[in-house]
Amino acid sequence: MHVIVEDFGAFIGKTSERLVIRSGKASTREIPLFDVEAVLVVGQGVTLSADAIRACMERGAPIDFIDGRGVPYAKIMSPQLQGAVQTRRAQLEAYRDDRAVSLSRAFVYGKLRQQANLLKYWAKHRQREQSLYERLRARAAEVDDYAARVVEVPGENIDEVRSAIMAVEASGAKVYWDGVKEVLPEDLMFPGRRHQEAEDPLNRLLNYGYGILQSHAARCLLLAGLDLHAGYLHADRSGRPSLVLDFMEEFRVPVVDRTVFSMVNKGYRPDVQEDGTFTLEDRRRLAGEIMERLASKDRYAGKKFSLGTIMQEQARHVATFVRGERPYEPFVWSW
């Protein structure tokens, strides 16, 4: 269970074998510690007891902090989650050979296939609107073509081919976001994809959702014994969790995009405050929808698993790939 704390001035403590969250005199939540997989702190003025921190660390449950825009700014995690020396050594060594290139191509291939599949999903439900149906199918085919191209990008050194891989990704993304514009309500006035400095409500929803996804992706990679900062596709930068950003690429569409687009197409409109953040109610609603999506099931390895479980398995597959034990196959959701 991912525990999300959003209330201003909340206190996170421990009583017996339960995590206790107090938000005012009359509001208290108690969660059995054996159910706690991670804690995400969003609210301002939140305090934590040393006992609560220790209990979470002993159970391998990291505590993440993100601001009101969804930008992660701190993480508390157990040093025991950083003890997989063999895996981390292999992860660093992989940067010097074609494993880094193969993994980067796979992450982008997965992302592009997800984007194409969401366009196909929308087209399937708009067959009565012939013109829109045909445009969405054409865009999906174009994005699929970029996915096929990215796996053909030649090279064995990631520093030499990174720009080529990201150029293909950017071209496919432009087609995808142009398709997104066609299915969104006009009142949203979606300007296209913008990142952290976005001012429109939809981009802010996406950024906030990606912040939640980033927290979950980081936990999956930690449990797989990987170093969050030693990535391949996203270049090294001080403090940047490059591998987390790499890994979450193939999950942005099925976990966040699909959730946010479904919400706004059903009439949901968030209340953006003067400082650019969402109200407490909006943060709770989006976080709840994202958690519900992570708990939903999809087909994987011939069976049905929750998306959260699939993410964990994919993180383990990253670890086995860098150790040279098996190839890495990106996850593509069934539309």
Q: Within this chain, do residues 110 and 259 fall inside the same structural domain, yes or no?
A: yes
Is residue 75 one of the residues assigned to a domain? no
User: b/e map of 295-329 (b: 16 or more CB within 10 Å)?
Assistant: eeebebeeeeeebbbbbbebbbbbbebbbeeeebe
pLDDT digits (tens, 9 = 90+) for 222-235: 999 999 999 999 99
Is residue 13 one of the residues assigned to a domain? yes
Annotated binding site: 169, 234, 249
Confidence class of residue 335 from pLDDT cuts 50, 70 and 90? confident
Q: Within this chain, do residues 117 and 243 fall inside the same structural domain, yes or no?
A: yes
Q: Within this chain, do residues 53 and 100 fall inside the same structural domain, yes or no?
A: no
Annotated binding site for Mn(2+): 169, 234, 249
Q: Within this chain, do residues 56 and 90 fall inside the same structural domain, yes or no?
A: no
Question: Tokens at residue 39, please?
Answer: 């804690």
Q: Within this chain, do residues 10 and 142 fall inside the same structural domain, yes or no?
A: no
Q: Within this chain, do residues 7 and 56 fall inside the same structural domain, yes or no?
A: yes
Instruction: Kindly report the CATH number assigned to the domain that includes residue 17.
Output: 3.100.10.20
pLDDT digits (tens, 9 = 90+) for 225-273: 999 999 999 998 888 999 999 999 999 999 999 999 999 999 999 888 8
Residues 6+ apart with CB under 8 A from 16: none
Q: How far from chain centre, in Å, is Cα 244?
A: 8
Name the residue range of residue 23's domain. 2-61
State the total domains in the chain: 2
Average of per-residue pLDDT values in the chain: 92
**What percent of the chain is predicted at pLDDT more than 70?**
98
Pairwise CA distance, residues 63 & 85, whole Å: 23
- What is the predicted pLDDT for the residue at 196? 67
Q: Within this chain, do residues 107 and 206 fall inside the same structural domain, yes or no?
A: yes
Residues 6+ apart with CB under 8 A from 74: 64, 65
Is residue 95 one of the residues assigned to a domain? yes
Please say if the pLDDT value at position 141 is more than 70.
Answer: yes
Q: Within this chain, do residues 98 and 40 fall inside the same structural domain, yes or no?
A: no
Is residue 77 one of the residues assigned to a domain? no
Q: Within this chain, do residues 132 and 234 fall inside the same structural domain, yes or no?
A: yes
pLDDT digits (tens, 9 = 90+) for 29-72: 899 999 998 899 987 899 999 999 999 999 888 899 988 778 88
Q: Within this chain, do residues 55 and 154 fall inside the same structural domain, yes or no?
A: no
Pairwise CA distance, residues 298 & 331, whole Å: 10
Q: Within this chain, do residues 247 and 166 fall inside the same structural domain, yes or no?
A: yes
- Judge whether 258 and 307 are in contact, CB under 8 Å: no
Instruction: Indicate the residue type of 293.
Output: R
Record the pTM: 0.88
Q: Within this chain, do residues 192 and 296 fall inside the same structural domain, yes or no?
A: yes
